[in-house]
């Protein structure tokens, strides 16, 4: 018994030492730690990074993995392709998953021209899929990405098998959330990030169940938002002035609309509007979840999607 207790004590000490070294490593080398964490998540999900240049000169950076029907996943405003990396772990066994940085974000092109409306983004993505040799696709998107996915389906309905809209943007016929009303009064959107503290505040604002990320790594992640804030203001204006309702009215594409009940960015009542306008749409509300379901509860979010796809 004494030997076992001593062994257990030694194991506890080793674990504590390793944990301390890990924390120290994150604090001392936050950039490297962040890149390593992302690489690990991608590997676990069976995703690899790729680059492609379109005929018009725009460059897309994207993650890809899995086999089966093509599933294109689109991140929200201010996000990037890794917003879908965690949930992709449950999807790549069933689908050929493609997750791009949308134009204006991440490592894809940031052209200094007016090409950022949802229709513009949909046309860029259509060119991407054509270049990849994909003629039929299932589409998923969160927030702005959901808005773009729905607009894509309205433009290229013959090529879209189904839609998966996670707290999609663009439904402007419902009352704005208190947060959006406050932003209008103050003349500044909390979605625009000017420093690390604002990024951390936004990180906890958009999610009711945010995954734990050390502050040092959040500060690293904030840098892309800070450096891109001028362009993001223009993009936010472009998507905010384009209502989704006219695009999807009568759209027959089978659609799963998912909304986090604790979404403080976009009004959950928007989901009811969409299922009223779209004949083959169904609404699923996730209790205790905020604006980014695929990050807050990737397992349940993927399970609900797989059930939806199996029903088609």
CB-based contacts of 251: which residues, under 8 Å, 6+ apart? Answer: 150, 153, 154, 157, 277, 278, 279
Query: Which stretch of DSSP H or E encloses residue 99?
Result: strand 96-100
**Burial group, residue 252, by CB count within 10 angstroms (0-12, 13-18, 19+):** exposed
Report CA 97 to chain centroid distance, whole Å: 14
DSSP string, 130-177: HHTT--SEEEEEETHHHHHHHHHHHHSGGGEEEEEEES-S---SSPPP
Instruction: For helices 196-206 and 215-227, give the axis angle rounded to 10 degrees.
Output: 100
Is the separation of the CB atoms in 247 and 150 below 8 Å? yes
Task: State the virtual CA torsion across 179, 117, 134, 110 in degrees, nearest 10.
Answer: -90
Query: Which stretch of DSSP H or E encloses residue 19?
Result: helix 2-28
Could you give the residue numbers annotated as active site? 75, 143
């Amino acid at each position: 018994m004494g030997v076992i207790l001593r062994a257990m004590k030694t194991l506890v000490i080793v674990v504590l030492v390793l944990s301390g070294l890990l924390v120290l490593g994150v604090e001392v080398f936050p950039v490297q730690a962040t890149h390593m964490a992302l690489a690990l998540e991608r590997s676990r999900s069976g995703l690899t990074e790729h680059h492609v240049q379109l005929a018009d000169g725009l460059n897309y950076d994207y993650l890809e993995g899995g086999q089966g029907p093509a599933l294109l996943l689109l991140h929200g405003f201010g996000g990037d392709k890794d917003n879908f990396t965690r949930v992709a772990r449950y999807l790549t066994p069933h689908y050929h998953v493609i997750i791009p940085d949308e134009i204006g974000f991440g490592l894809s092109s940031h052209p200094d021209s007016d090409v950022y409306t949802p229709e513009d983004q949909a046309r860029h993505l259509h060119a991407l899929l054509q270049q990849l040799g994909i003629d039929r696709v299932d589409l998923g998107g969160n927030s702005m990405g959901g808005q773009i996915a729905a607009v894509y389906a309205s433009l290229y309905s013959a090529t879209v098998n189904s839609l998966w809209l996670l707290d999609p943007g663009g439904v402007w016929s419902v009352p704005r959330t208190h947060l959006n009303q406050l932003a209008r009064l103050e003349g500044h959107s909390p979605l625009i990030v000017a420093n690390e503290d604002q990024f951390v505040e936004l990180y906890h604002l958009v999610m009711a169940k945010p995954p734990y990320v050390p502050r040092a790594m959040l500060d690293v992640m904030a840098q892309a938002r800070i450096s891109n804030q001028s362009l993001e203001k223009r993009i936010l204006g472009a998507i905010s002035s384009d209502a989704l309702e006219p695009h999807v009215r009568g759209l027959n594409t089978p659609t799963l609309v998912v909304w986090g009940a604790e979404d403080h960015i976009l009004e959950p009542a928007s989901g009811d509007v969409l299922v009223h306008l779209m004949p083959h749409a169904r609404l699923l509300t996730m209790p205790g979840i905020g604006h980014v379901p695929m990050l807050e509860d990737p397992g349940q979010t993927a399970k609900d999607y797989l059930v939806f796809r199996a029903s088609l």
